[in-house]
Chain A
Amino acid sequence: MYVAVKGGEAAIENAHDWLAEARRGERSVPELEVAQIKEQLKIACDRVMGEGSCYDPALAALAIKQARGDLVEAAFLLRAYRTTLPRFGYTEPVVTADMLAQRRVSATYKDLPGGQVLGPTFDYTHRLLDFKLLAEGEVPRPEPTPAASADGRLPPVTDILAREGLIQDEPPGDDSAPVGDLTREPLLFPADRDLRLQNLARGDEGFLLGLGYASQRGFGATHPFVGEIRMGDVTVAFVPEELGFPVDLGEIELTECQMVNQFQGSDTAPPQFTRGYGLVFGHAERRAMAMALVDRALRTNELGQDVTAPSQDQEFVLMHSDNVQATGFVEHLKLPHYVDFQGELSMLRSLRTAWQETKA
C-alpha cells in the first residue's frame, strides 16, 4: 500500500543536479557526443533499440548518454519516448532472404551457396586487450575493396534442408488473420507464436541467454545447430492508408538466426529437423541465437513434448523476459513502504508478545 508523501523537493532537485554533474564526469575530459556513441558504441545502441523495441540509432545513443551507460535504464527511456508518438500502422513483413548481408555463417554446411561470410565479427579474435586503442591512435582506413560480382543476396541455408524435406516447413500462417501485438493488448496464455516472438525479440538479452544456455545444458534439452546466422540491411515497406500501395521507408539492420534442432516424427510425418527462430534489431548475434533457442524451447507443447524445464514454460519465460517491467517491479521496492512496514512491525510485535506469554 502506498500513501502520498510530501516533501523532499529540494533534496530531489539537488540529487538530480549531482546526477547531471556525475554524468558529465571529470571536466578536463572532453564530453561524449551522441554521434560518437551512435558510431562507436553501436552494439550498445543495438541492444537498447532491441530491448526498447524501437529502431532509432540516434535516440538509442541519446538514451545511453542520458543513462550514463546503464543500458536497461536507456531501454526504459526509449520505451517511455515511444509512448509520445502516434502509430502510423504496421509494415509489410521484412524479407530477410533479400538482406544485403554483411555477415552470413552456417555451422551445418561448409560449402554453401554464397559461402561463409564472416563480416565484422569478434569471432576468431584472441580476446586480448588491445592497448593500441588506449593510445588513441586512429585506425587505418582499409584499402579500397575490389569489385565483387556478389550483390550481397545469399540464399537461406534452411532452404537447402527444406528442398529435401529434412526440416519442418515453417507453417505459412494466415495472412488475413490478425497479428498479436503486445503493445496493444495484455499477454494471455497460452500465447501463440506471433506473441512469443514479439516478446522474445524485445526480451532482456541476459535473461534469454541464461535460459538458452540452460536449455543446452539439459534443462529442456534441445540439440541445436546454427543453420544460419545473417546480419545486414533489409528494406522496410509500408502501405500508407492514403496511398494503398507499399512505399519503401528505407533500410534497417537486423540479425537473424535459424536454429536447426533435433528430429520430430510421427505416424503421419517422417522424422524431420525442427526449427527455432531469432530475429532482432541491429547487430546482436548473441541475442538472436538466445532467442532462437528459447523460441524452440517454447514450441515444446506444439511439437507434442512434455514441458519439464523453465525455458519451455511459456508463463515463466514470457512474463519475466521484459527488463523494463522487471526492473520496474524489482526497483519499486526502494520506494517508500513506510505504512506497509509499520503494519508488519505491529503484527510482529503482537506475535512476539503472544509467544512470550505462552512461555511465561
Chain B
Amino acid sequence: MGVLARASAPELEALWRAHGAGAALAPLRPAETGLVMVRGRAGGTGQRFNLGEMTVTRCAVEGPGGVIGHGYVKGRDKRHAELAAAFDALLQDEARRPALLAAVIDPLAAAQAQRRATVAAKAATTKVEFFTLVRGE
C-alpha cells in the first residue's frame, strides 16, 4: 500500500489501463478527503506530540470474492485513492497477485528507490570535505 501511495495518480492510471481494466470491482466507500494529525517525538525519540495535520484521501472498494481493497494516500487526489484501493483489492487475489507484483508494484518500487537514490546522491555532492591546515615553523 505504501508503494501505491507514493506513486502518482497518472502512473497508476497508466498501469491500471494495462493490468487492471475489466476487473469486477464494486465501490464500497467513495473517495473522501480528510485530515490526519501527524505526530512527532520530543527530541526525535522522546514524548509524543502533535506536530500538525496533513490532508489524506481514502477509498474502499470490494473486489472479486468479497475482498476489500483500501486506498490511503497523502493529499487530495481522489482518483489516486480509488486506484490505490482497486490495486489493493486485486493484489489480495492469490491468482492475480504474482503477476501484479511483477508488473505494477516492483517497477513502481524500483522507480521510487531510484528517486530516493537521486536525492541521496545530490545531497552527497554537497558534503563538505574539510582540510586541516598545518602551520610549519
Contacts and interface: CB of A to CB of B under 8 A. Distances in A.
Interface string A133-162: 000000000100111101110001010000
B45 A238 contact: no
A250 B2 CA distance: 7
A182 B58 contact: no
A92 interface: yes
A314 interface: no
B52 A117 contact: no
Interface stretch (A98-106, A206-214, A318-326, A335-343): A98-106
A285 interface: no
B43 interface: yes
Contacts of A279: 40, 44, 51
Interface in B16-60: 32-56, 58, 60
Contact of B35 (A86, A100, A119, A147): A86
B72 to A, nearest CB: 5
A258 B45 CA distance: 11
Q: Most chain-B CB neighbours within 10 Å: which of A54, A147, A197, A240? A: A197
B133 interface: no
Contacts of B5: 247-250
Contacts of A55: 38, 52-55
Contacts of A50: 52
A53 B54 CA distance: 8
A96 B124 contact: no
A172 B42 CA distance: 9
B40 A94 contact: yes
Contacts of B33: 85
A329 interface: no
Given A82-B53, A152-B116, A281-B52, A110 B47 contact: no
Given A90-B50, A170-B45, A183 B37 contact: yes
A172 B47 contact: yes
A303 interface: no
Contacts of A202: 52
Contacts of B37: 87, 89-91, 181, 183
Contacts of A248: 1-2, 5-6
A53 B128 contact: no
Interface string B70-81: 101111100000
A183 B127 CA distance: 40
A22 B56 CA distance: 34
Interface string A59-93: 10000000000000000000000100111111111
Contacts of B6: 248, 250-251
Contact of B70 (A56, A183, A232, A242): A242
B121 interface: yes
Contacts of A204: none
A230 to B, nearest CB: 9
Contacts of A172: 45-47
B43 A110 contact: no
A275 B34 CA distance: 35
Nearest to A196: B49
Contacts of B120: 100, 148, 150-152
A116 B128 contact: yes
A300 interface: no
B75 A92 contact: no
Contacts of A281: 51-52
Nearest to B41: A93
Contacts of A264: none
Nearest to B38: A91
B94 to A, nearest CB: 19
Interface string A159-203: 000000000001111010001111100000000011101100110
B47 A194 contact: yes
A277 interface: yes
12 contacts: A56-B75, A85-B33, A86-B32, A100-B120, A115-B127, A170-B43, A179-B49, A183-B50, A194-B42, A247-B2, A250-B6, A250-B73
Interface of B: 1-2, 5-6, 32-56, 58, 60, 70, 72-76, 116-128, 130
Given A150-B123, A170-B44, 13 more contacts: A55-B38, A56-B54, A56-B76, A91-B36, A151-B117, A171-B47, A194-B49, A197-B42, A197-B51, A235-B2, A242-B70, A250-B75, A258-B43
